[in-house]
Amino acid sequence: MRFPLLPVLGVLCALGLSALPRPAPASGAMPVVPVVQGHYLVGCGGCHGVQGRSGRSVVPDLAGQVGYFLCTPQGRDYLVRLPNVAFADLSSQDLADMVNFVVFTLGRDSVPAGATPYTAAEIARLRADPLRLADLHGYRDRVVRGVIGACPRARELHDYDTAQAGREAGRDAP
Ligand code: HEC
């Protein structure tokens, strides 16, 4: 399945808009975004960046590091229990596909050896128990400590906390 840009264009052409001046044809077919990436772009990319790089200080990077969370069961659960993920307007199968894209494609080699993809049933179970915490940062910090204990190379996950602490210190300054 593809992200539904082409059907929309098809309808516009059928309505006669094809008579409008057309741009020079690109070489080959129009780029098409696979549906799972489309879901990521629409629901998450605005904050986390198209490629999973957000600059770290306000929103954590996903690219090359989100896979570390699979080092512990608590980390694995955390990724799906986050409100932005748990409440995504997607079926559990579509959300499983999208989270697997985020973890295994954007996360690249941060994924620990032997980690298995999320199933729709696992996603359904986790999203039914979303994190409802005033202090999400504090919870993330505890999860990250456990993850680093299990996978020491995950230390870069702390870059986000450090950036947060820096911003908060700046805000508290007179
Ligand atoms: C409004 C901005 C925003 C949107 C939209 C958003 N996120 Fe996030 N996301 C955040 C912030 C901020 C955090 C950090 C949580 C915290 O510690 O407060 C986060 C954390 C995460 C994490 C954990 C990474 C880490 O290092 O803690 C994952 C995975 C994630 N988001 C995935 C997603 C996915 C998938 C979507 C789309 C369904 C999404 N997010 C939508 C802002 C956003």
Residue with tokens 């032997």: 114
Residues flanking ligand 1, CB < 6 Å: 43-44, 46-48, 59-60, 62, 66, 79, 82, 84-85, 88, 102, 136-137, 140, 157, 160
Q: Does residue 119 form part of some domain?
A: yes
Distance 3 CA to ligand 1 centre (A): 22
Residue with tokens 């989270």: 99
pTM score of the predicted model: 0.83
Q: Does residue 9 form part of some domain?
A: no
Judged by DSSP in three states, 114 sits in: coil
Count Cβ atoms below 10 Å from residue 81 Cβ, excluding itself. Answer: 19
Structural domain containing residue 99:
33-166
Residue 30's pLDDT band, with cuts at 50, 70 and 90, is: confident
Count Cβ atoms below 10 Å from residue 98 Cβ, excluding itself. Answer: 23
Look at the chain and report how many structural domains it folds into: 1
Question: Token digits for 70?
Answer: 């699979």
CA-nearest residue for atom 8, ligand 1, is 84
Using an 8 Å Cβ cutoff, are 151 and 68 in contact? Answer: yes
Span 112-122, average pLDDT: 97
Q: Cα 21 to chain center, whole Å?
A: 38
CATH code for the domain of 37: 1.10.760.10
Q: Which tens digits make up the pLDDT trace of 59-91?
A: 999 999 999 999 999 999 999 999 999 999 999
Q: Does residue 25 form part of some domain?
A: no
